[in-house]
Structure 1
Amino acid sequence: MIAGNDTLNDPEDIASLKDTDGMIAVDLHLDDDLPQPSVPTKLSFINNPNVNDPPAPSHYLESQIEIVIKQFEKKGEGMNAYIVYKVATITQNMQGYIDREYVVWRRFSDFLGLHEKLVDKYFYKGYLVPAAPEKSIAALTRTKMNTSVDDNTNEFAERRARGLQRFCRRIARHPKLVFDCDFRDFLTMTASLPKANSTVALSGAGVKRMFKTVGDVFSKMAFHMDENDRWFEAAQQQMEDMEQNLGKLLRAVESLSSYRRELISGTDSFSKALSMLSSCEENTSLARCLSHLTETYENIDQLHGMQSDKDCALLAEGINEQLQVICTLKELFFERVKIWQNWQGAQQNLTRKREMKARHELSGRTDKANQIVDEINSVCFSSCMIVICEWVSLFLQFL
């Protein structure tokens, strides 16, 4: 059995919640001993004077929620093996949450299924749905093929648990997604959720998503949208710059972490050499000094190891998460382009129907003309719905 540290009831694990500017403050630190800074209310690149954010519900401003994912276990053997994660939730004045504390066990596919449901319901409206941790074929193979628990499997499970915790906490900070029924059931239902077959790494749904992504790329190249809104143009450029700068920072942090690991290896070898030298030294005083020096370098080696872990857990993973947010925002901007494409298609369809109506009237075919009139009314209504619902939804609810 793989097991993490089960210290949920420790007050240090459930950090105190802070209310900042009316938003839910969630501790994003992995080290409970670190001070908790205030959490920004929203992710904003530049201010758009033409867009007014809808006010958050009053019950949301007074609500608090904390989600902790630290413990995990391995279930099953062989090809049926999988890892489940303990999701502990503490709420206060949350609408739809009856109890104050909830504890459920969820497998990784449940998190992916939740992400897929939220994307289907909210992404086309302009809501930023946080990206879930990516699937890993290597990790899946290691989990199913290894009969015993090794350090690599344990380290991977801890890293994934941190990613899942950040994913849930980002959803909990959203004033709309936090009250979604699927997210609430995910946190509160003790029973196992229906298995999401579409989230399997090698499945027909995965192949469909791949072809859909390729189709979106070709659609983006085939239909060029002339950007008239300078705010969106500036925001897209700023995201491109941020993605480039964060990518450079991530590579620098990874190089720093690699350097620390090499330093750990060198310090360990040096401490072993000092230990051998102190054991061979005939002078008692010098041997004692060498022994103390050996202990010092062993402590330095442990400190380098702890710092390397912090570099990976706090810096590298945090920067990579911000890169995922930027990629999600770019996809969200492309949703706006797809709405524009649908709008153009509806207008072309309307123009074609009007031309057919004119030809039927000139030829005296009134029955066909009346049929085309009904189709024109339907097309006009669809075009109106596209303009009113989708465009207004995007401009007023865009993050």
Structure 2
Amino acid sequence: MAQTDIHAMPADLSFFLGRSEASAIFLLPELALNTAQFAKSLAMLGSSEDNTALSQALSQLAEVEEKIEQLHQEQANNDFFLLAELLSDYIRLLAIVRAAFDQRMKTWQRWQDAQATLQKKREAEARLLWANKPDKLQQAKDEIIEVRSPPQHSKGVLLASGRC
């Protein structure tokens, strides 16, 4: 996965949420509101009805619709909080992946820098060898040994993580 893909994922997630899931989340509260209005209309119709049996049936239907409205509202709240929690977890995971990716990039860069430094030290050692300067040659060899350990450590970290 490219670095730009990792950095673009939260924006893609927001776009996705804005288009599909958000509309689904907002439909249930709207359904609950419409059910409540329907229940009120049934209650008003039942109270104005002259026929007692029809009035009672309409009142009972209004009560059922009010209970359905409450269930829709509870479900809408539950869905919203569940989705918000899932998105929060997903965004946190993306942040962790991004941090790990950035750390691996820094480690790789340090490894490359150390490799370049090691190469320069080896070239300096070769020049000293060609110039026949044994007094400075040992110092150059010591510097190479000193510089060699960080690239090996960085390479080991990258190999362990599957990068190299």
Gaps of 5+ in 2: none
Q: 1:346: which partner in 2?
A: 114
Over residues 256-299 of structure 1, what are the superposed CA-to-partner deviations in whole Å (9 max), with x where a residue is unaligned?
Answer: 11111122222223322332333333432332122112101101
For residues 162 and 154 of structure 2, the distance between their equivalents in structure 1, rounded to whole angstroms, comes to 13
**4+ long deviations beyond 6 Å:** none
Higher strand share: 1
The answer to whether 1:303 aligns with 2:71 is yes
Asked if 1:380 is matched to 2:138, the reply is no
Q: Equivalent residue for 1:395?
A: 162
8 A contact 2:111–2:150 mirrored in 1:
no
Q: TM-score, normalised by structure 1?
A: 0.34
Q: What does residue range 198-347 of structure 1 map to in structure 2 within 5 Å? A: 236=1, 248=16, 251-322=19-90, 324-347=92-115
Q: How many residues are paired up?
A: 156
How far apart are the structure 2 equivalents of 1:331 and 1:250?
26
Letter in 2 for 1:341: Q
For 2:151 and 2:67, locate their aligned partners in 1 and report how far apart those are by CA, in whole Å. 70
> Residues 281-339 of structure 1, C-alpha deviation per residue, up to 9 Å, x if partnerless?
34323321221121011011011112212322334532553454345334433433322
**Structure 1: distance between partners of 2:18 and 2:86:** 9
Distance 1:337-1:387 versus aligned 2 partners, 3 A rule: same
DSSP 3-state at the match of 1:395? coil
What is the TM-score with the length of structure 2 in the denominator?
0.73
Which blocks of at least 5 consecutive residues in structure 1 are unaligned?
Answer: 1-235
Equivalent position of 1:86 in the other structure: none
2: distance between equivalents of 1:385 and 1:245?
37
RMSD of equivalent CA atoms? 3.3
Higher relative contact order (CA 8 A, sep 6+): 2
1:366 equivalenced with 2:116 (yes/no): no
Determine the C-alpha separation between the residues in 1 that align with 2:132 and 2:73. Answer: 85
Corresponding residue SS for 2:162: helix
